[in-house]
Amino acid sequence: MSKTTSILIITVMLFTVLLSACASKTDLPAAAVEAYWKAMAAKDSAALSSLSCPDYEATAVSTMDSFLAVDLVLTDLSCSSTNNTGDKADVTCKGSMVASYGTEKMDFDLASKTFQAVNPAGDWLMCGEK
């Protein structure tokens, strides 16, 4: 094996290890809650239902229905999880959702709440405020 081939193999192996390390650090409970809020802002009831645990689905859709007449914009949304027990996690977010109706604007601060994420069968789901 030539020196160039050895260097190429080592480089590919190192790159693979780095990529897998980055992928394993994804905060899945936080990503689920972020996806939930993005679906809420997009008023996507199908996505909202699929991102909600069964016990919270009706509340999620009802909440979305209350926003149908307004424009929704997410501002600076980022979430992270704590107390992750494997099938439950607390998720806190930064940012807000701004509802606009004509010239009126109402700011819903997401940072003042803690959300519950659950993983009942392999997928993390939003399950309401804690």
pTM over 0.75: yes
Domains of the chain, residue spans = 27-129
pLDDT tens for each residue of 101-111: 999 999 999 99
Domain 27-129 architecture? Roll (3.10)
| CA 52/CA 127 separation, integer angstroms | 6
Confidence band of 9 (pLDDT split at 50, 70, 90): very low
First to last CA, the chain: 59
